[in-house]
Structure 1
């Protein structure tokens, strides 16, 4: 097999893996902005908390239950934390007439508070930098491309999360109410929608998905209090591609970021000798390009992912 084919296979597999994680983070960013109108900079710390929770779970619970329990726990803990933050910080500010800019600044302050609290707690417990007890293992190989145990968990969990959210948004009363609140919160409240309930549901989804992404990221690399802040750029980039409002546009954005930082960066490294350390530059370039030339993002609200997957399944099943 030619070197270029090997490079492409491995890069594409890595793009799909990390693109799935960026999608989970980006969906949380998009839902938060759409429903609460808050650009939540503390979202990255929810990823970090999810990673730490997963690492600790895997230290005390063993295979085969360690990863499923870690995923569930990493959903619950960040979701509860962001609900508490909303009640203590964001809701009181909103009642006092805080603008979106003020709320964004407040979220940045919350982000710093959470991050340095993590520094204090993890340093005192000698957990500043830890690794998950679940190690990356190659399950299948395609050429020199590796399909790992993490790939076989992260990609299906992301797909299942996306399909469940699609069902929620398109087929349930709560999902339709969430879309109504995103369109016009005052009108939604006037029609009898429980806006506070929708807001809490949004935070649960956002915080939970961030935590799941953190759980998977803890297997991909080591965990420290900075990882969420570093990954947050990718989540915002994915959300930018979706225009901060499009669910399906954000999914496309997550995988575009994954492709740019892996496949495209590997090709640039191969042909031009530029170090892969500069791959965040491609994410910045993607964000700036959309903000300059397509600020509304990719509006793909007519997409039905379940129907698309069914057609693909029927086609390949022939």
Structure 2
């Protein structure tokens, strides 16, 4: 007698993880359209308002990041003009009738005495509002008379440093008072870079692939954190865990559906690299299509939680640094003390010899993709708390990620950590001496200088040619 065994088939892990990744993208599509891109604690438009888009005003002091109430701000475009006053939380929401470019002008005469002034060139400002986008940020950081202007991240733009919440000296500050806060913020930024860079280094070490789509794994984690925290309203730790898990799943699905079949067909590394560039572009503009082109802000408390002389750190900066340190120590333990870690290092050293000694190379590569995706997802959501995020957040720091990996030595996880810390510190400290928009140039100049002396990188090994 025949037995029907179709109902007894088990669902394999590949199918299960693929289903989870599909559900995650479905969640993005369902909730992203309804997500207001506003900051933590920002009021939402009244249900009676007919405006489908709005501008979020937020006025704070640079010295202590305290809110400034009672300041009038006018938003205008053509015949439309509306003046609002910042509330006790320093915020005001302005519904606007149509998409377009609006002029936002702060009335300096209404700023309370001693609160500071708007940095030169930032008032009035132009704010671009897309259709259906609510809470487009127009933030003002008031500085003391003659004080230094805040970084772009402090005025609503994306920034790769935490100087918005961690530093703030005036023009009378000493060099030590200017450099020390940026060393601290540079170390925090370096730790965030390290989480993403280690994945790039391990993927290169085990497969030889320079994955140019790794930045989109970072962006995916940031956007998942946004969906779970800002859209679904779940606690921050839930968003961090979800972004990490879904990042690992996304990495697994990428390897299962794309990279593993290409490896089996024997595709060379250069075509694989070109495929990664195409995947990067496809994912990047998919994120833009779903979430829009404007900045998104994760709910967070941006007040200074730790003040040590000129150093001012937010609670999110401290928590992010602790999470990074714990995860990096865990990665070091896994690589040095566990069987899968030793197998990963063996595959990175010599893939053919590792396979000949009985190591399941494909299993190691699959594990590396999961781990790289999880670390990138975690880095993404922490960067989202560290600064405002966009559809191209990962792509904007991809060059720094590769610089960190190259500086530390390709294929070495610990080298990626050292390189990330060096790049992070140089990037932030350089803003004391050069314009903020040239800080990436400083990091790359130092990278070139170090490679001229040590071509294999800080922790890399010399390769014999011939």
Same fold by TM-score greater than 0.5: yes
| CA deviation string 1:26-78 (max 9, x = no partner) | 1111111111211111110111111111112112566xx72221211111122
Q: 3-state DSSP class of the match of 2:312?
A: strand
Question: Are 2:253 and 1:88 equivalent residues in the alignment?
Answer: no
Moved over 6 A (4+): none
Alignment match, 1:262: 428
- Could you say if the C-alpha distance between residues 3 and 68 of structure 1 is closer, same or farther in structure 2, counting changes exceeding 3 Å? same
Alignment match, 2:195: 24
Offset of 1:119 from its aligned partner? 1.5
Any conservation in 2 of the 1:136–1:220 contact (CA below 8 Å)?
Answer: no
Alignment match, 1:238: 404
Task: State the TM-score, normalizing by the size of structure 1.
Answer: 0.86
Alignment match, 1:54: 225
| CA deviation string 1:263-317 (max 9, x = no partner) | 1x1331xxxxx3111111022223333444322112279xxxxxxxxxxxxxxxx
Alignment match, 1:106: 275
Offset of 1:136 from its aligned partner? 2.4
Alignment match, 1:305: none
- Could you say if the C-alpha distance between residues 296 and 26 of structure 1 is closer, same or farther in structure 2, counting changes exceeding 3 Å? same
Q: 3-state DSSP class of the match of 1:139?
A: strand
Distance 1:291 1:81 in 2: 34
Offset of 1:184 from its aligned partner? 1.6
Query: Which structure has more RCO (C-alpha within 8 Å, separation ≥ 6)?
Result: 1
Any conservation in 2 of the 1:136–1:219 contact (CA below 8 Å)?
Answer: no
Alignment match, 1:287: 447
Offset of 1:4 from its aligned partner? 2.1
Any conservation in 1 of the 2:186–2:427 contact (CA below 8 Å)?
Answer: yes
- Could you say if the C-alpha distance between residues 295 and 102 of structure 1 is closer, same or farther in structure 2, counting changes exceeding 3 Å? farther
Q: 3-state DSSP class of the match of 2:307?
A: strand
Question: Are 2:214 and 1:43 equivalent residues in the alignment?
Answer: yes
Q: 3-state DSSP class of the match of 1:146?
A: strand
Q: 3-state DSSP class of the match of 1:169?
A: helix
Task: State the TM-score, normalizing by the size of structure 2.
Answer: 0.59
Any conservation in 2 of the 1:9–1:143 contact (CA below 8 Å)?
Answer: no
Alignment match, 1:316: none
Distance 1:56 1:17 in 2: 24
Any conservation in 1 of the 2:316–2:385 contact (CA below 8 Å)?
Answer: yes
Q: 2:204 aligns with which of 33, 52, 58?
A: 33
Count of aligned positions: 290
Offset of 1:230 from its aligned partner? 0.7
Alignment match, 1:14: 185
Alignment match, 2:296: 130
Q: Comparing both structures, which one devotes a greater share of its residues to strand?
A: 2
Any conservation in 1 of the 2:181–2:311 contact (CA below 8 Å)?
Answer: yes
Q: 1:251 aligns with which of 399, 417, 427?
A: 417
Alignment match, 1:221: 387
Any conservation in 2 of the 1:26–1:237 contact (CA below 8 Å)?
Answer: no
Distance 2:391 2:417 in 1: 26
Question: Are 2:305 and 1:139 equivalent residues in the alignment?
Answer: yes
36-45 or 78-87: bigger deviation:
78-87
Q: Comparing both structures, which one devotes a greater share of its residues to helix?
A: 1
Offset of 1:216 from its aligned partner? 1.1
